[in-house]
Amino acid sequence: MIRKERTPLTIRFYLKDIQQFLQFLHANKLTIQQCLDKHVLTWARQLGNINKASTINRKVVAVRSYLKWSFNNGIIPVEIKAKKAFTKTDMPPRQVIKQSALDKFFDSLDPNNVLHARDIAIFSLLLLGIKQKTILDSRVSDVDFKEQTIRTKDGDIIPIGKIALKIKAFQKLQQARLPRYKDINSDASLFPNRHGQQMTARSVRRKLQTYATKLGMGIISPSTLRYTFVAKQLAAGVLLIDIQKSLGHKSVSTTKICADLLTTNEG
């Protein structure tokens, strides 16, 4: 079913996508033999709240390949020809989180716990619209606590206000409770994992979802926090071009698409 030129990573993603689709069918009491185009697209659109268009369309390609193989081998009676699920402009509404839910979320984290303190700082930076990659690529020396700014890998300076205090609080806990951080290396990752290595995007997403699930907040992602930032800026009358700069978008048209897709998560 999977062509030989696919990389091991691509194959792993494809298999995961197919497994997700089969779980969707099972949850809706459908067998693979009952599957139709509409079921593929319904599944894909349900992923719209936590995935970008290109990711969803990749998943559709994986499932479509699997269903084509199933048809060719007589497993299903109907050939499925589902096309791309989305373009950038027809994505389903993106959720944002109300302030009351955000307050409840942060109140659930213990600022005296080292890992919680780290996560509080990361999530707070996401709520400033800063890209997750920019946050995770940051080194200890990139933070100017006096000026309350953080320097990106490209040399841009981003104001972070009182979040600098949250980062400082996390570093103090590191030094006090984790012996290997007694003398923090300025070139070390600003937000390391429990093993001292740079955190991955997947780890941040998993932690965020774990915390949210405990509070019954449904599915949220780092992007949800950035969308929440956009919603707040728009409500405050900030111009799209200024929001674009905060988000790091290359084009203001991308920022406009984000703004047009917002709904509120009552969570």
Q: Which of 38, 71, 90 is the last residue of a domain?
A: 90
Q: Is residue 239 part of a domain?
A: no
- What pLDDT was estimated at residue 12? 85
Q: What residues contact residue 185 under an 8 Å CB cut-off, 6+ apart? A: 140
Same domain for 215 and 104, yes or no, is: yes
- CATH no. for residue 202? 1.10.443.10
Q: Which of 219, 236, 258 is the last residue of a domain?
A: 219
Confidence of residue 154 (pLDDT cuts 50, 70, 90): confident
* Calpha distance 262→207 (Å, rounded): 23
- What pLDDT was estimated at residue 5? 59
Same domain for 166 and 200, yes or no, is: yes
More confident residue, 85 or 262: 262
Q: Is residue 256 part of a domain?
A: no
Q: State yes or no: pLDDT of 147 exceeds 90.
A: yes
Region of poorest pLDDT, from 5-14, 44-53, 87-96: 87-96
Same domain for 109 and 57, yes or no, is: no
Same domain for 86 and 106, yes or no, is: no
In the sheet with 143-144, reading across from the earlier edge strand, the strands are 143-144, 149-151, 157-159
> How many domains does the chain fold into?
2
Same domain for 192 and 210, yes or no, is: yes
| Domain around 73 | 8-90
Q: Which of 176, 201, 219 is the last residue of a domain?
A: 219
Same domain for 129 and 196, yes or no, is: yes
Confidence of residue 176 (pLDDT cuts 50, 70, 90): confident
Cα-Cα-Cα-Cα torsion 65, 69, 74, 78, nearest 10 degrees, comes to: 20
- What pLDDT was estimated at residue 165? 96
Average pLDDT of the segment spanning 174-180 = 79
Query: Could you tell me the two tokens for 9?
Result: 């990573």
Its pTM surpasses 0.85: no
Q: How high does pLDDT run on average in the chain?
A: 85
- What pLDDT was estimated at residue 9? 77
